Structure 1
Amino acid sequence: MLKFIIPGRPISKSNFKLSNIKGKTWMPHKGKYSKYVAYENLIAGIINETYKDVPLEGNIITVLKLYFPNKVMGDVHNYPKSICDGIEKSGIIKNDKQLKPFLILDFIDKENPRVEIELYPQHEYHFDFTLSKK
């Protein structure tokens, strides 16, 4: 199991895409919208500081724990894309399609907003999910 902690409030990719009149979208590298690219690089840098081994092969069971400073968090489903792009950019995986199954959990931590990324190679771990009525 690998665990990485990304400090600060999670950033959603959907807030930073720009598009032209033909509908083509891109991520700007300068100006106020470049915050997303910096966030991807932060994730990649933190992973590269601690993981020095070969890229992970096969599917990776992925658990994302999103810690927000308050209840203003937007759509939680928009956050994984930015995080997955940062993981892929680090080189720890070849393609973010490997990150499955995928579990997203959200919490409030006013003092320490962050993202905790847990990666479990599927050939070493079994994912079991149980849901029961209260």
Structure 2
Amino acid sequence: MIKITVPGKPISKSNFKLKNIHGHIWMPKQGKHSKYIAYENKIAGYINQQYNGEPLKGSIITIIKLYFQNRRMGDLHNYPKSICDGIEKSGIIENDKQLKPVLLFDYIDKENPRIEIELYECSKYKVSYSIEPINS
């Protein structure tokens, strides 16, 4: 199991996409939209600081915990892409297609916004879950 913490507010990839006149989506490398590329690099840098083992092989159970300063977080489903791209950029995996299943959780921490990433090799761990009614 590998656990990585990346301090700071999570960034969504969808906020930085642009469309050209033909409707094709692209990510600029300069200007305000380049913040996304810097964010990917930030994630990769923290992973490389906190993990120095061999690259992970095969499918990886991925748990992403997003800690926001407040409830103004936007669409939660847009955050994993930027995080998974950063994980791939770190070199800890070959391709972000390996990251499956991905479990996403959100929390509020006004004092310490961050991302916590947990990675488990499917060859060594299994995932199970249950959904149960709340007793009133």
TM-score class, shorter: over 0.9
Deviation track 1:51-74 (CA, whole Å, cap 9, x = no partner) reads: 222210010000000000001000
Deviation track 1:72-100 (CA, whole Å, cap 9, x = no partner) reads: 00010000000000000001001101101
User: What is the alpha-carbon distance in structure 2 between the residues aligned to residue 113 and residue 94 of structure 1?
Assistant: 28
TM-score normalised by the chain length of structure 1: 0.97
User: What is the alpha-carbon distance in structure 2 between the residues aligned to residue 41 and residue 101 of structure 1?
Assistant: 23
TM-score normalised by the chain length of structure 2: 0.96
User: What is the alpha-carbon distance in structure 1 between the residues aligned to residue 45 and residue 54 of structure 2?
Assistant: 16
Secondary structure of 2:33 counterpart? helix
User: What is the alpha-carbon distance in structure 2 between the residues aligned to residue 74 and residue 63 of structure 1?
Assistant: 19
User: What is the alpha-carbon distance in structure 2 between the residues aligned to residue 114 and residue 29 of structure 1?
Assistant: 24
Q: Which residue does the alignment assign to 1:45?
A: 45
Q: Which residue does the alignment assign to 2:112?
A: 112
Q: How does 1:33-72 map to 2 (within 5 A)?
A: 33-72=33-72
Q: Which residue does the alignment assign to 2:126?
A: 126
Structure 2: gaps (5+ residues) = none
Amino acid of the structure 1 residue aligned with 2:8: G
For the aligned residue pairs, the C-alpha RMSD in angstroms reads 0.8
Q: Which residue does the alignment assign to 1:10?
A: 10
User: What is the alpha-carbon distance in structure 2 between the residues aligned to residue 91 and residue 19 of structure 1?
Assistant: 29
Structure 1: gaps (5+ residues) = none
Deviation track 1:6-54 (CA, whole Å, cap 9, x = no partner) reads: 1111000000011101122211121111111110000001111122222
What percentage of aligned pairs have identical amino acids?
65
User: What is the alpha-carbon distance in structure 2 between the residues aligned to residue 54 and residue 5 of structure 1?
Assistant: 19
